[in-house]
Amino acid sequence: MPKSPISANTTALRDETMLRHVRQLGSARDGLSEWRLQRMTAVALIPLGLYFAASVLWLAKSDHLTAATWLASPVTALLVMLFVLAGIAHALVGLRSVLLDYVHTRARLVAAGLIIRAAVVILAGASVLAILKLFLGH
């Protein structure tokens, strides 16, 4: 039996319906910016992480006074602060991606997002405060 040919109108209607359906999926607002932020923080974390790891290994056998003196340098304090903030931003974007993939209820997604953002603000604030306290020598 020969197949009946699909008319052009049927194909166009199906394609238009599929296009409407696809436009409703995913984020058309901030998906690309989050992807870029994730990649930029990942690239920034490579040299900052190497610097931080080398510094921690160098300070491993030092006392508290030596570490505080090391962190009192403006360049060191800035690099450590950038490392902490880039790591927290990287983690925030990654956790938001995981939430979007695995939490399917809108209320739970909003609640989890708020909890994660609050934790990020607290961690970032406490980290910057600790670095500034050691930098300023108080």
pLDDT confidence of residue 89: 95
Q: Write down the pTM of the prediction.
A: 0.73
CA-CA-CA-CA torsion for 127, 133, 135, 138, nearest 10 degrees? -160
Tokens of 60: 């491993």
Quick one: which of 130, 45, 32, 127 has its CA closest to 91? 45
Tokens of 128: 């910057």
Which CATH class for the 31-137 domain? Answer: mainly alpha
Q: What is the dihedral sign for C-alpha 62, 64, 69, 75?
A: positive
pLDDT confidence of residue 6: 56
pLDDT confidence of residue 28: 54
pLDDT confidence of residue 47: 97
In the chain, which stretches have pLDDT less than 70?
A: 1-30, 138
CA distance 54 to 45: 14
pLDDT confidence of residue 109: 92
Determine the longest span between alpha carbons in the chain, in angstroms: 89
pLDDT confidence of residue 9: 61
Domain boundaries, the chain: 31-137
